[in-house]
Amino acid sequence: SEMFIATFSGDNQLDQALTWAFVAAFAFCLVSQIRFIDMSLRVNDALLHVPLFYVIWNVMAMVGGGVVFGEFDRFGPASYAAFFCGVLVLFLGVYFISYHASSGRGEREKGHQEAAAAAGGAKAE
């Protein structure tokens, strides 16, 4: 985005190869991400995929921000431990929420199937 801001401010970045390399990498990552999301949703339930995608997205954003802005340079052992604990809390919180939602969903589906079977049997009589 900084390249586009600089371009619109008058410093043309579109004539540099690095800009087009970033645009190509962005397009490749975009298509790949959509493809992997599609593959995951074909195999896994959305109640598993969406929270996992959320967690990985947030962790990668935190790590990317830490690397780009040099925030990890000032980290000591206590900061790394706190960061790890925060990431662990994020993973566990989303895991427990998605586990609870998926386990309750299975019971609801079973109840719906039993109700449908009972309704079908009542109509036959």
Q: What's the confidence (pLDDT) of residue 125? A: 45
pLDDT digits (tens, 9 = 90+) for 102-115: 555 555 555 555 65
Residue 110: predicted pLDDT: 56
Q: For the chain, which ranges sit under pLDDT 50?
A: 122-125
pLDDT for 45: 80
Tokens matching residue 22? 């970033």
H helix runs in the chain, sequence order? 2-8, 17-43, 46-68, 77-124
Question: What is the model's pLDDT at position 86?
Answer: 92
Q: Phi, psi (5° rounding) for residue 70?
A: 70, 25
Q: What pLDDT is stored for residue 52 in this prediction?
A: 83
pLDDT at 27: 96
pLDDT of residue 119: 56
